[in-house]
Amino acid sequence: MFAKTSLSGFPEWLPEGRIIENAILDHLRKTFELHGFASLETRSVETLDELQRKGETSKEVYILNRLQELKEERSSKKERPLGLHFDLTVPFARFVIENAGSLAFPFRRYQIQKVWRGERPQDGRFREFMQADIDIVGDGALAFHHEVELPLVMIEALSGLPIPPVTVLVNNRKVVQGFCEGIGIESVEDALRAIDKLDKIGAEGVMAEMLENGISAEQGEKLLEMAAIRVESGVTDAVLALGVDNETLRAGLEELDALLIAATKRAPGRVVADLKIARGLDYYTGSVYETVLEGHEDLGSICSGGRYDSLATNGKRTYPGVGLSIGVSRLVSRILGQELVHASRSVPSCVLVAVNDEEHRSEADDIAYALRSRGIPTEVSPNSAKFGKQIKFADKRGIPFVWFTNEEGVSTVKDIRTGEQVEADAATWMPPATDLLPTVVK
């Protein structure tokens, strides 16, 4: 279901793979809209100033240039440098600021688009890929309960896909901020940047990096103890048992506990507090989330995000938000690569109308038109070869039914999977509901 491509990092799926991807996207749209999220699409390019507004220089932004401008080498007024967006959060923040007067807050949006990053391609990581985001943004303030709501919406969305169960790992910026302050660490970002690598380089590697950044061995050991906490409940007791306590830490633990309590009610066993999660803390200010696929932990997080308070601001007003993003291409690549599911057929066509001879092709076209007018995906045989060859053509494409009309004008439809053939009228015949459209099968 993968198509061969001469450029690495730019995935192309074969038709069956696209059917699976579209089924996933359709399900995500349906779930997001069920929860009141409005569809939004932003432009693919942003100014470099906007893309680098929060210091996101590590995303390897693709620069956009006009060929003619590169050739001219002129000294006249230059256009503002542009780049392809590397995620959907930064352009969404810009959109909110520019259109705040036309939006009703809290504003709930979902966005499904491609993004681009000049990264080294590897398993599940691409240079061009599809993301599906949901965000809730407020005007000046945003209630904490939205931080509880979003991961539960994502669990519902992902649970409806033909994939193994998912677990959402949660942490809170206030917890790690307060803990670091409580043990005297001044450079919180350095500490958390090291902790975030725990799964990659292990405790020894993390400790070495912290020592290089001026964090003492005693502080590092304490931080590693905190990072080792992974519980479905009782996170406050687990953290306070380490002997660290302050107001910021307490505030974060209260929020984290509230999230876990709600998740236990709505999605038992699906949300776990994992205090080594430290992603994106350059702009996340509250809850942070990562999502792993059971049995496929090597793939990394397939859905991540968090609370941000100052990403969207125009200097006068601030629009705090919370969001989550699914790496759709990463998920699809694993589904196709390990054949976790397959499509019932590789084309949308449910019926192939056989052609007796080229002189009567228009009659076959009439039947196809009648079937399509009733919502039945239909194509007409590309040639008038012997019926056996036309049936083989349908079988190769996965089309389940072939329609025949004899010289007397009597029509029959054949299920080429079973060999059953019955008389049929194009004005009334319907295929079984399970055959009307391609389906995704585990």
Q: Which residue has the higher pLDDT, 136 or 1?
A: 136
Under DSSP, the state recorded for 104 is P
- What average pLDDT does the segment 143-165 reach? 94
Per-residue confidence band for 199, with pLDDT thresholds at 50, 70 and 90: confident
Is residue 147 predicted with pLDDT exceeding 80? Answer: yes
pLDDT at 122: 83
Identify which of 197, 271, 278 has the alpha carbon closest to the alpha carbon of residue 231.
271
For the chain, list the domains and their CATH numbers. 15-41+88-342 (3.30.930.10), 351-441 (3.40.50.800)
Any idea which of 9-18, 35-44, 311-320, 328-337 has the lowest mean pLDDT? Answer: 311-320
Total H helices, total E strands in the chain: 15, 19
**pLDDT tens figures, 58-110:** 568 999 888 777 666 654 556 788 999 999 999 999 999 999 999 999 999 99
Taking the chain, what is the end-to-end CA distance rounded to the nearest angstrom?
Answer: 15
Quick one: DSSP state of residue 113?
E
Annotation-wise, does 317 bind a ligand?
Answer: no
User: Which tens digits make up the pLDDT trace of 259-314?
Assistant: 999 999 999 999 999 999 876 556 788 999 999 999 999 998 999 999 999 878 88
- Is 283 annotated in a binding site? The answer is yes
Q: What is the DSSP track for 265-297?
A: HHSTTTEEEETT--TTTTTEEEEEEEEEETT-G
* pLDDT of res. 358: 94
∠ CA 175-179-184 to the nearest 5 degrees? 150
Residue 435, annotated ligand binder? no
Give the Cα separation of 157 and 96 in Å (integer).
25
pLDDT of residue 281: 53
> At residue 113, does pLDDT exceed 90?
yes
Q: Which of 89, 152, 148 is nearest to 323 (CA)?
A: 89
Is residue 87 part of an annotated ligand binding site? Answer: yes
Annotated ligand binding at 131? The verdict is yes
Q: Which residue has the tokens 């200097």?
A: 315
Q: Are 403 and 424 in contact (CB under 8 A)?
A: yes
User: What is the Cα–Cα distance from 86 to 281, expressed in whole angstroms?
Assistant: 17
289 annotated ligand-binding residue: no
Exposed, middle or buried: residue 47 (CB in 10 Å: 0-12, 13-18, 19+)? Answer: middle
pLDDT at 396: 94
Residue 369, annotated as binding a ligand: no
Give the model's pLDDT for residue 312: 84
For residue 138, give both structure tokens.
């407020």
Cβ burial of 238 (10 Å; 0-12, 13-18, 19+) is: middle
Q: Are 197 and 210 in contact (CB under 8 A)?
A: no
Which helix (H) or strand (E) segment holds residue 258: the answer is helix 247-266
pLDDT, tens digit, for every residue of 356-370? 999 999 999 999 999
Burial tier of 120 (Cβ tally within 10 Å: 0-12, 13-18, 19+): exposed
Residue 118 has pLDDT above 80, yes or no: yes
Q: Which of 188, 158, 182, 175 is nearest to 258 (CA)?
A: 175
C-alpha span between 81 and 83 (Å, rounded): 7
Task: Please name every residue paired with 313 in a beta bridge, in sequence order, or none if there are none.
Answer: 318
Residue 353's H or E segment, with its range, is strand 351-353
Q: Give, for 321, the enclosing helix (H) or strand (E).
A: strand 321-327
124 pLDDT above the threshold of 90:
no
Is 299 labelled a binding residue? Answer: no
Q: How far is CA 404 from CA 285, 381, 398, 425, in A?
A: 65, 11, 18, 11
Is it the case that residue 134 has pLDDT exceeding 90?
yes
284 is in an annotated binding site: yes
Residue 424 backbone class (left: φ over 0; alpha: ψ -120 to 50; beta: rest): beta
Residue 95: phi, psi to the nearest 5?
-60, -45
C-beta neighbour count of 330 within 10 angstroms:
23
Contacts of 131 (CB under 8 A, 6+ apart): 87, 88, 111, 112, 113, 114, 115, 325, 326, 327, 328, 329
Instruction: Give me the pLDDT at residue 58, please.
Output: 59
Q: How far apart are CA 332 and CA 326, in angstroms?
A: 11
The C-alpha atoms of residue 149 and residue 36 are separated, in whole angstroms, by 12
